[in-house]
Amino acid sequence: MPYLDNYTSILDGEGINYDLAIWDRIGREEKADFVFFDKTNSYRKSFFSYLKYSYFIRKILNKHNYDIIIVFGLQLTFFLKNILLRRDKYKYVIDIRDYNKILKVTNLKHVLRHAHFVVISSPKYRSWLPTGISYILNHNMSLESFEQSEMRGILDKSYFTISYIGTLVNLEINISLIEEFKNSDLFKLRFVGAGLINEDLKKYIERMDVKNVEIMGKYEKCEEGMYYRSSDFISMILETNYINSTVLSNRLYNAALYAVPLIALEGSLISSIINEYNLGLVVNDINGLSTKLLEYIEGFDEDIFLEGRSRFLKRVVEDNKLFRKKLIEFISSCQDSENDALSTKMCGDTIIK
């Protein structure tokens, strides 16, 4: 989770002592005092799983004397709200990276309003979050600087690799994408990452005898750059619903960082950013995408793409610098005059997948 680095790098740089509470959702972590295990080996967790995890967090908080709590996710905010609202005991930050249906059944405005600040990863999250709250934008990228980049000769290739890199979701829309490029001599589709639909996609391409699609499993963080560098386009094709239209995915930042054009459907915040900064191709429909992509390749202007990439990444850097400034100011305000080492607690659901 790249946004976790945005916190740990600041805390490390300021010499702050902190602990990470981790929920091992799929059995990948070693047993430790701050690692929570449950029996359901799945990314999807029930209400009762969250309840058990919140009890785990409560035990940690009772055992240790923390000055600050940083809570990731709306779900855990709900389960810990009674503790967080004990303002005589804790100061806290809420970090929201995803929408959750918990907002439909409870009002979290009170606990959000009493946070020192609330961090969001997309400015459009304000459209479904409570109003009257101080929200600070922090992008899903631990980026404080970037290097200039050169394209890898997109017009000189005989075939092109379109990659989806990340957790695989939404079977129907990805099947539509496969159908559009099925057995093309010019395009290869590559799905890189773990997810709930991997096996279904594998079965589909086997049943339909699709030869130009590769389904890959989970990858290590150190391999991520390799997959982006070996891609000609990055797919940001998402289901066009209200919530997805507000998201800024990791792929947006990584594609810009590695100078790879994006493909997205019109109607989302990402598509508007792609158009504003000339970061790729935006289409109305998957049908006919292959033809439109060929037209994009024929008219591709490398200088325009790289200039837009530079403007976009500069904007990200400036937003993240403001977040860093706010967090350091908050930590400094909590420093105990008798002890420069501040104990900080991070706990969440999204950082532990």
CATH code of the domain covering residue 139: 3.40.50
Task: Please report, for the domain that includes residue 231, its CATH number.
Answer: 3.40.50.2000
For residue 149, being part of any structural domain is answered with: no
Residue 33 binned pLDDT confidence (cut-offs 50, 70, 90): confident
Identify whether residues 43 and 100 lie together within a single domain: yes
Gap between the Cα atoms of 158 and 117, Å rounded: 51
How far is C-alpha 269 from the chain's CA centre?
14
For residue 174, being part of any structural domain is answered with: yes
Identify whether residues 185 and 290 lie together within a single domain: yes
Residue 223 binned pLDDT confidence (cut-offs 50, 70, 90): very high
The closest alpha carbon to 218, from 26, 38, 2, belongs to 26
Identify whether residues 221 and 113 lie together within a single domain: no
Which residue range(s) make up the domain with 16? Answer: 2-144+313-352
Q: For residue 100, what are the contacts with CB-CB under 8 A and spacing of at least 6?
A: 73, 74, 75
Gap between the Cα atoms of 181 and 241, Å rounded: 24
Range of lowest pLDDT (215-219, 273-277, 296-300): 215-219
| Edge-to-edge order in the sheet of strand 233-235 | 213-216, 187-192, 160-165, 233-235, 262-265, 280-283
Instruction: Answer for the pair 225, 147: CB distance below 8 angstroms, yes or no.
Output: no
CA distance readout (Å), 250 to 85, 122, 139, 178, 304: 32, 11, 9, 22, 23
Gap between the Cα atoms of 93 and 116, Å rounded: 6
Identify whether residues 21 and 82 lie together within a single domain: yes
For residue 307, being part of any structural domain is answered with: no
Check whether 271 has a pLDDT greater than 70: yes
Gap between the Cα atoms of 184 and 31, Å rounded: 47
Q: How many CB atoms lie within 10 A of CB 79?
A: 21
Q: For the chain, how many structural domains are there in total? A: 2
The closest alpha carbon to 6, from 273, 346, 257, belongs to 346
The two tokens of residue 173 are 């829309």
Check whether 341 has a pLDDT greater than 90: no
Three-state DSSP class for residue 164:
strand
Q: Over the stretch 66-89, which tens digit does the pLDDT of each residue have?
A: 889 999 999 999 999 988 988 667
> Which residues partner with 127 through β-bridges?
none
For residue 76, being part of any structural domain is answered with: yes
Identify whether residues 323 and 254 lie together within a single domain: no
pLDDT for position 157: 79
Check whether 21 has a pLDDT greater than 80: yes
Check whether 349 has a pLDDT greater than 60: no
For residue 304, being part of any structural domain is answered with: no
